[in-house]
């Protein structure tokens, strides 16, 4: 060994040094916490496939929102479960829809929190697809108007940002136009740009009761095998006016996040989805993984790949841990 040899272990010996040379940070500031809201009062229904997460009514949601804000989490992402479903998903864009009520309540009571809304039809349609169904298939262009109406109704209720997750072509442009026409030029769009047709959404679909009643989502969500196409999707959404772009799921798609980081300057979000959460929770409960460490490692990996924003059901758990003294050195 020569004296000039690079000895990587020199910087690993002491915890304080490890902290100094750490390349990636994870802070409460990076997180968005997704929540499911239902009609009623005093409702807090645990979601079996997502231990620790519940469907909550608006009054309980306000408590969750206060909690999240108190922990320094900048934003929540809202999903609604309607009273009734119909073929055109009409509660999605109803003035007194569950999300619209939730947005008003949170904006009234928790001023220090961004309220982001998921814009999609699948929880609201009787067939469970993200768009209008005609002749057994999901029709793109007739869906755009309904999505735009949904986005505008969320913003009229007070939403700070809308997040279209439907994967119809042209939805970002349609929503941007509708917001601009309504005088909401300053309201940003976070687009689920590279959203894959993933089995990791399974627990979410139990939670949101949004499983398609026939077929699957492969005619609109992306093929997990593709990455060049993801770059084209992101470029298209930016062109249509997206302010933040997203890759989803996160952990099995770190290469997509890294490519997007390298190719685009726009703020990048990654959605660590319900199945990623469920896997860690399940292994933790079985005693097969250390749940806390698995959670931190997974979230740091998503940040290391290049995500600015991480959307995660672990948001409150992480924020709580980080409050107690950052990542372990
Ligand atoms: C609605 C939507 C889904 C998710 C976010 N928005 C489900 C789907 O596309 O089937 C999944 C989120 C998760 O799994 O945590 N289109």
Q: Is residue 3 part of a domain?
A: no
Whether the pTM exceeds 0.95: the reply is yes
Residue 2: the pLDDT is 61
Q: Whose CA is nearest to atom 8 of ligand 1?
A: 201
The total number of structural domains in the chain stands at 1
How many Å lie between the centroid of ligand 1 and the Cα of residue 299?
A: 19
Q: Is residue 89 part of a domain?
A: yes
Number of Cβ within a 10 Å radius of residue 17: 13
Q: Is residue 11 part of a domain?
A: no
Residues in the chain: 329
What stretch of H or E contains 282? Answer: helix 274-286
Q: How far apart are the first and last CA of the chain?
A: 29
Q: Is residue 163 part of a domain?
A: yes
Rounded CA separation 281/273 (Å): 13
Residue 74: the pLDDT is 98
The answer, yes or no, to whether any atom of ligand 1 lies below 6 A from the CB of 117, is no
Residue 329: the pLDDT is 66
The answer, yes or no, to whether any atom of ligand 1 lies below 6 A from the CB of 295, is no
Q: Whose CA is nearest to atom 11 of ligand 1?
A: 201
What stretches in the chain show pLDDT beneath 50? Answer: none
**Cα–Cα distances in angstroms (integers) from residue 284 to residues 37, 49, 290, 291, 295, in the given order:** 27, 14, 6, 5, 10
Q: Is residue 204 part of a domain?
A: yes
How many Å lie between the centroid of ligand 1 and the Cα of residue 42?
A: 25
CATH classification at residue 214: 3.20.20.70
Residue 326: the pLDDT is 62
Q: Which domain holds residue 74?
A: 19-323
With tokens 């390349």, the residue in question is 23
Known catalytic residue at 14: no
With tokens 């860690």, the residue in question is 280
Q: Is residue 72 part of a domain?
A: yes
Which tens digits make up the pLDDT trace of 22-32? 999 999 999 99
How many Å lie between the centroid of ligand 1 and the Cα of residue 201?
A: 6
Known catalytic residue at 66: no
Q: Is residue 9 part of a domain?
A: no
């Amino acid at each position: 060994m020569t004296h000039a040899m690079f000895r990587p272990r020199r910087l690993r010996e002491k915890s304080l040094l490890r902290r100094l040379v750490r390349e990636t940070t994870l802070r409460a500031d990076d997180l968005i916490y997704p929540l499911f809201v239902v009609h009623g009062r005093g409702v807090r229904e645990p979601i079996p496939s997502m231990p620790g997460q519940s469907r909550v009514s608006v009054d309980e949601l306000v408590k969750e929102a206060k909690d999240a804000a108190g922990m320094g989490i900048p934003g929540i992402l809202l999903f609604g479960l309607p009273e009734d479903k119909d073929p055109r998903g009409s509660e999605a864009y109803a003035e007194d829809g569950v999300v619209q009520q939730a947005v008003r309540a949170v904006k009234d009571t928790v001023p220090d929190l961004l309220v982001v809304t998921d814009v999609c039809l699948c929880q609201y349609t009787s067939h469970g697809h993200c768009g209008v169904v005609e002749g057994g298939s999901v029709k793109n262009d007739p869906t755009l108007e309904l999505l735009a109406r949904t986005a505008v109704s969320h913003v009229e209720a007070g939403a700070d940002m809308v997040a279209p997750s439907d994967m119809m072509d042209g939805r970002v442009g349609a929503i941007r136009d509708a917001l601009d026409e309504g005088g909401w030029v300053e309201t940003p769009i976070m687009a689920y740009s590279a959203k894959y047709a993933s089995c990791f959404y399974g627990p979410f679909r139990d939670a949101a009761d949004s499983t398609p009643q026939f077929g699957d989502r492969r005619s609109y969500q992306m093929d997990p095998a593709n990455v060049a196409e993801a770059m084209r999707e992101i470029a298209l959404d930016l062109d249509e006016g997206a302010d933040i772009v997203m890759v989803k799921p996160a952990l099995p798609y770190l290469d997509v996040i890294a490519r997007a980081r390298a190719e685009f300057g726009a703020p990048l979000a990654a959605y660590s989805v319900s199945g990623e959460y469920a896997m860690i929770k399940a292994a933790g409960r079985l005693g097969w993984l250390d749940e806390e460490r698995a959670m931190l490692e997974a979230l740091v990996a998503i940040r290391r790949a290049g995500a600015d924003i991480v959307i995660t059901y672990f948001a409150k758990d992480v924020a709580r841990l980080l409050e107690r003294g950052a990542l372990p050195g």
